[in-house]
Amino acid sequence: MTWGPLKDGKTGIPLFNSAAWKIAKNILELIKNGFVSDPPGIQLYYCIGFDEKAAALPIYRCVRGTNMVEGGVHTHLLAKLPSHGASVRHMVACLLDFVLRHNLHVGHFNSTGKKYVGHDSIWLLNSIQELEITLAEGYGLPPAPLAWVNGNLYQQTEQSVGIIKIPKSKQQYLARMQGTRIAVLPVHTVAEKLLFNDLLRTSPAFQSCKTAISTAATAIWNREAEARPDIFYKPEEQLMAYLNGNYKDSANVRQSCSQARGQIEPLEQTLQDPKRATRIVNALSGPPVRHSVTVGFNIPSNASNTTNSVLVPSRTPEFAVLNNIPESAASATTSLSIQQVAASMHVPEPPQKTRARTCPRCTVPNCKGKPPASPNYKV
């Protein structure tokens, strides 16, 4: 009831008309019937730690709505992106690096309840796990629990990431198709919007334009486009559309926000109150669940011939019980790890035979150097 009667600064129409109030009542009915409440038996909020920099306030994780994206990714993404030199390849590389690190650290915490400790090279982790499984089988050691899902043992995805080359001059093709030296475009860049505001304050030709742009004002704009590379040609229709559209709408928004400032300030004080955290109820957290993938192994087509040449796992049942996975998945994990290690072993090449040394002048292998001068030689 506080925000609905607020009126628009230009039209005088309230924020909520009769149709909007009807929709609001329907939403309240949904809330009353429990359709937007948390489902029973599913924990959506749980404490994950305490903020030592804020008087040990509890930190809660929310797994409902868009908070998993806004709070878990977008909040931390800004600090990982480059502040300068952000080319397309640089930006894509930073995004891929952030996704890898974020999924690795968050996935480990969600499955074990502990912070991730170690490096972020999944390729090196895969090789280490394959070596551990191979050594355990070769020396008869007891199997170790699988703390990592090795992607080398499963079928690889066919997805790929590519970057489309962006032309240096994005408007050059458009200008060539229009038959002009500079492309004809609506007011769309920050530089053009700033120029439009400046001309309305300083140019008499623009100041006389209330609802329509005159020919003189259009000529002034196009002269600016001739002199500046970030300004584009405009006909009268495009300048008039911006004047009666986005420009006046922005002024109306600023005026409406100024009028509603009195209702916004109490809400801001409530949201910024440091005592709000004392009313948060700590929910019980469930036990962590370890990641486990039991299907999709990259079994070669000649598996029957391959398994005969690979050491047959002798501790497969014990390995399956330890990791709580089916015996077939344990057997595939062990066998494929041994195959990966065998395929990655480097066989040294035989040393190449060096060429016999020769004299740099006469190219004779057994040259003893320059002979002594003859005693009968005369100058």
- The answer to whether position 70 is within a domain reads no
Domain-located, residue 34: no
Measure the CA–CA gap between 200 and 213, rounded to whole angstroms: 11
Query: CB of 203 within 8 A of CB of 220?
Result: yes
List pLDDT tens digits, range 48-66: 788 888 888 988 877 766 6
User: DSSP assignment of 126-160, as one string?
Assistant: HHHHHHHHHHHHHHTPPPPP--S--GGGBPPP---
User: For residue 264, is it within any domain?
Assistant: no
Closest C-alpha among 129, 130, 133, 120 to residue 147: 129
Let me know if residue 233 belongs to a domain.
yes
Q: Is residue 298 part of a domain?
A: no
Cα 6 from chain centroid (whole Å):
40
Domain encompassing residue 201:
172-259
**pLDDT 10s digits, 138-180:** 888 887 787 778 888 888 887 766 666 666 677 887 888 888 8
- 299-326 pLDDT, tens digit each: 776 655 444 444 444 678 888 888 888 8
Q: Is residue 245 part of a domain?
A: yes
Q: How many domains is the chain partitioned into structurally? A: 1
- β-pair partners for 7: 14
* pTM as predicted: 0.41
Task: Evaluate whether residue 277 is within a structural domain.
Answer: no
Q: Which residues pair with 61 in a beta bridge?
A: 46
Pair of tokens at residue 212: 């329509």
Which has the closest alpha carbon to 118: 147, 75, 152?
147
